[in-house]
Amino acid sequence: MHAVGIGSTVLTFGLFMVGSDWTILPFLVLLATVGFGWRYYQSELAKGLTLLTTVATVVVLTLIIGFLLLRSMPAVRHMGLDLLTRTSGPLWSSNQGGVYALTPMMVGTALTTIIATAIATPFGIAGAVFISEIAPRRVREVVKPGIELMAGIPSITYGFIGLTIVNAYFFDAFRTPTIGSYFAAGIMIGLMALPTVVTVAEDALSAVPDEMRNGSLAMGSTEWQTTKSVTIPAALSGISAGVLLGVGRAMGETMAATVMLSHTKGFPAPPFDVFSGYGETLTTVIAFEGGNASGIHLSALFAAGVVLFSMVMLLSIGSQYVEWRMHRKLGGEQ
């Protein structure tokens, strides 16, 4: 059964990749094998399916990485290190053979991510502590589902609110050079990341054993001292994971930033001027120009995807390192 399942899966994938009209046949064989296994060999089928999905996940991720690298190579050969290091103009132009430097978009991504993190981290942790440790049960039952519901709001909705309200407010009140700015976009992205931080951090705080809290209270600590010195440190790995997940969403956010930013490529002067007239990130340049790009221009957008993927991967490695350090420090699973 396992041999038939693996063989039909490999054959289905191979025929699908070459665009064959016969792809449906091995796929039907796979479905029939799964149905037979479910009827007579459920435990063996479960082992086989879990192995298959794990291998498929690794294979798909490998293919995505390989595809991005392959399609970005023309831009790398054309620009060389200037693709990631060029700081003088022209920075992004299709004239005279094409100049495509990702440096200003990398700076824009960093600025919006820092602003979003500065908003989502303190408010997210504070909200998680309130829901888990302070709020009455009735309040918790209303507030937590409401926060989780915020995560389901489409990003274009946040972007439209940011465009019509936040951008307009900063333009009218502070006379920003353009109606879009990194600061306004960072605020909205931070609000979008907030439900993720609150939900994951609250789950981590709720998972702390009651024995730890009761032991601290029995020693004479107040509830706030117990929360500050026992519960939060014990759940710090989960809280850190929530923050990093929120940062990852902020870094990869597309639609809200695309709607709110001015799509002007350049460097703020000074570099931390988040109200400058420039506004572009790695995600927005891909979304805004991908439909009309071709040749080296399209390859440069794929290179932007590689850079963004690398940044998110480093963030994921960092989250794993934080979790390992906290596991080692606390000697537990929290």
Residue-wise pLDDT tens digits, 137-150? 888 888 888 888 88
Q: Quote the strand ranges of 121-195, DSSP E.
A: none
DSSP 163: I
pLDDT digits (tens, 9 = 90+) for 207-242: 888 888 888 888 888 888 888 888 888 888 788 888
Q: Place 77 in a pLDDT band, splitting at 50, 70 and 90.
A: very high
Task: Average the pLDDT over 191-206 and give the result.
Answer: 89
The region, left, alpha or beta by phi > 0 then psi within -120 to 50, assigned to residue 93 is beta
Rounded to whole angstroms, how far apart are CA atoms 141 and 66? 46
Q: Place 327 in a pLDDT band, splitting at 50, 70 and 90.
A: low
Average pLDDT over the chain reads 86
Residues whose CB is less than 8 angstroms from the CB of residue 330 and which lie 6 or more positions away in sequence, other chains included = 233, 234, 236, 237
Supply the pLDDT for residue 128: 92
What whole-number percentage of the chain has pLDDT above 90? 26
Q: How many CA atoms, within 13 angstroms, populate the side-chain half-sphere of residue 178? A: 19
CATH topology of domain 99-330: MetI-like fold (1.10.3720)
Task: Average the pLDDT over 243-266 and give the result.
Answer: 85
Task: Average the pLDDT over 252-265 and give the result.
Answer: 86
Please tell me the least confidently modeled range out of 17-31, 86-100, 277-291: 86-100
CA of 265: how far to CAs of 100, 174, 286, 298, in Å? Answer: 11, 22, 13, 17
pLDDT score of 289 more than 60: yes
pLDDT score of 334 more than 50: no
Torsion angle, alpha carbons of 73, 74, 76, 79, to 10: 180
Q: How many CA atoms, within 13 angstroms, populate the side-chain half-sphere of residue 171? A: 17
Per-residue buried b or exposed e for 66-81, using 16+ beta carbons within 10 Å of the residue's own CB: eebeebbebbbebbee
pTM of this structure: 0.83
More confident residue, 279 or 68: 68
- Tell me the domain boundaries of the chain: 2-79, 99-330
Supply the pLDDT for residue 305: 93
CA of 26: how far to CAs of 4, 17, 29, 270, in Å? Answer: 10, 13, 5, 60
Please tell me the least confidently modeled range out of 68-72, 173-177, 189-193: 173-177
pLDDT score of 300 more than 90: yes
pLDDT score of 321 more than 80: no
Q: Tell me if residue 99 falls in helix, strand or coil.
A: strand
pLDDT score of 45 more than 60: yes
281: number of Cβ within 10 Å:
32
Q: Place 40 in a pLDDT band, splitting at 50, 70 and 90.
A: confident
pLDDT digits (tens, 9 = 90+) for 81-129: 999 998 887 888 877 678 999 999 999 999 999 999 999 999 999 999 9
Which pair of tokens denotes residue 89? 């103009």
H helix and E strand count, the chain: 16, 2
pLDDT score of 333 more than 50: no
pLDDT score of 67 more than 90: yes
Residues whose CB is less than 8 angstroms from the CB of residue 8 and which lie 6 or more positions away in sequence, other chains included = 26, 27, 29, 30, 33
287: number of Cβ within 10 Å:
16
Residues whose CB is less than 8 angstroms from the CB of residue 156 and which lie 6 or more positions away in sequence, other chains included = 255, 256, 259
Rounded to whole angstroms, how far apart are CA atoms 314 and 136? 39
Burial class of residue 49, CB neighbours in 10 A (0-12, 13-18, 19+): middle
